[in-house]
């Protein structure tokens, strides 16, 4: 059985030493003028810089409004990863 955890941190505490793998659930938030912005953060690969995707916002008046896209759709751009492909004749 696999386990899942969600890690929320203030955006100002994000440092390059944190390892949030591609399949992780690490989120940052920033709060300004009564609105909290929620972003997911991850590394496509350990040696690459942290990637950030917008997930949603929260306010007292509107509550939590999140993106309809699932995690894998948001992370579908594998920027910087070389892919080796081949075509087989059958």
Establish if 2 belongs to a structural domain: no
- Asked if residue 83 is part of any domain, the answer here is no
Helices (H) and strands (E) in the chain, counts: 1, 5
Domain tally, the chain: 1
pLDDT in 10s for each residue of the chain, 90 residues: 445 556 666 766 655 667 788 888 888 888 899 999 998 888 888 888 888 889 999 999 999 999 998 888 888 876 666 667 788 887
* pLDDT at site 33: 93
Count CA atoms closer than 13 A to 9's CA, side-chain side: 13
d(CA 80, CA 30): 27
Residue 61 lies in a domain: yes
pTM for the complete prediction?
0.69
User: For position 1, what pLDDT does the model report?
Assistant: 45
| Maximum separation of any 2 CA atoms in the chain, in Å | 61
d(Cα 25, Cα 6) in Å, to the nearest integer? Answer: 5
DSSP state of 13: G
Domain span at 34: 7-74
CA 48 to chain CA centroid, nearest Å: 14
17: tokens are 């030493």
- Residue 63's pLDDT is 95
């Amino acid at each position: 059985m696999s386990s899942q955890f969600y890690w929320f941190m203030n955006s100002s505490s994000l440092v390059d030493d944190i390892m949030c793998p591609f399949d992780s659930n690490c989120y940052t938030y920033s709060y300004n003028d009564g609105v909290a912005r929620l972003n997911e953060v991850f590394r496509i690969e350990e040696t690459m810089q942290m990637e950030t995707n917008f997930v949603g916002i929260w306010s007292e008046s509107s509550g939590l409004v999140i993106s309809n896209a699932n995690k894998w759709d948001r992370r579908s751009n594998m920027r910087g990863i070389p892919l080796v492909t081949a075509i087989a004749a059958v």
